[in-house]
Structure 1
Amino acid sequence: MTLALVTDDMTTGVLKTTDGERKSRTKLYWKRRREALSAVALERLADLGIEFPVVAGTMTIPEVCDYFSISRSTLTNIARQYYEELIEAGYMPGSVTQPTRYSELALAHVAMILRPSTSDQAMIIQKALGIYRAPRGAVKVHNQSGAHVKVCGRVLDEAYKLVSEIREDDPEEVWKALEKRNRHELQVLTVALAALVPNDRGGLRAWLAEIGLGIHSDAQNKAAVGLASLVPSRQQVSE
């Protein structure tokens, strides 16, 4: 385990594991769990009467998305992040003439990778394989009630508006307006903004980098410099 030395007011040395290190260890742990289950997953599922509705031993992307009730982008992100693992499990990337196909074992791995809150079918498979982990203090997010959908529609409108305001208005005024919102409103707005970003395209930081280039700073990350010019530091907020 790698430990990072952090200090409090430069007087007290405290050994602390960083969030990044904890996440890396957790990711490695679950990867090893999936690897250990890979050889027996299909047999265990069959014993419990769980079978994938494959045709000729595989499923296409639309079929996988329909089976797990997930979006295509969710499946694409999994295929990108866990590419080597899925390849070993029988994942077959498509070509100009052939569609992408997932073998039964690759489907089992997708089920083990998915968050149980994202897919009820994945949760069923995880429980069957003994790999299910209940989110700590999590609230089930699937809520399609009319009132909730109406609120989310309003938040999306506000997200679009915020994109314009941060570019056209005084950043300080935008920050003050956000301070008036409660935690839940800010979380929903954050998720909305993140969901609106096309993460498979380049140039996402271009606007911030353009701002950063116009500010004198030795920092190489000009997008970060641009962001720093738009938001106050924690110290400034607490003053």
Structure 2
Amino acid sequence: MSLLKRSTIVVTQREPSEILQEAIAGFSQATRRVGSDDRKRLSWLLEFVYLSEEKLAELSESEKAQLCFDLAYFANISGQWELPPLEEIASLASEIRNGIDRLRRTRRWVIELPKDSIIERIIEPRPKRRAGHIRLDGYHSFYGSDDFRTSFLLCAADTAEAEGTRIRVCAQKDCGRMFARHRRARYCSSRCSQKERDLRFRKRFTKTERRERRQRYYKNRMAKLHGPAVASKVKPRPVKPTPRK
């Protein structure tokens, strides 16, 4: 059982104007974080599915409040609602992660919805900005529900259906996270990309060669900053002896 209590968007002791301002700010931030197009929503979803109960427990109150807005925005939930228990969010993230992984490997994902949930198909205008003006660009439809888990699963399925061909697994051997590919990206983050480049660099050059390259780089830098006279005084660092086991 989680030690943290449920968080709620609306606080009854505050003034209605403050509640409205907080809701507007929260959903505005959620729009930037989650995104309005399917590619950005897929990127956010693939980040969400790796949230464990331990990571959720480490969130601050403000981070939990923003997560509440993010989940509501992604699942198309409006109005007052409470953040589900942390174990329920972690279970949902794990379920979607396993489903997307099966979709990637077997090209099939069967979503099991709660039997008592009510599903609605909603048709809304599709706005498009042209020449600085927002105009009607047809209509689009999506499935929704008054149940959070059902609505979130339906939106996750719509997002995976629209942009599922972008899903890749990070090429860094110690990572293995799924991510939404942009252009020809092979790594989920710049950290994994840099880690792989460092690994190739160490395989390409020996320890002595790496030390000599660092020495040349440092001397050239000193020559540019302080002149050749200072650079000529730079001496290589002594090699520390390797301790015996």
**Structure with the higher fraction of residues in strand conformation:** 2
Which structure is higher in helix share? Answer: 1
TM-score band w.r.t. shorter chain: under 0.3
Answer 1 or 2: higher relative contact order, Cα 8 Å, separation at least 6: 2
Using the size of structure 1 for normalisation, the TM-score is 0.25
The normalised TM-score by structure 2 is 0.25
**Higher Rg:** 2
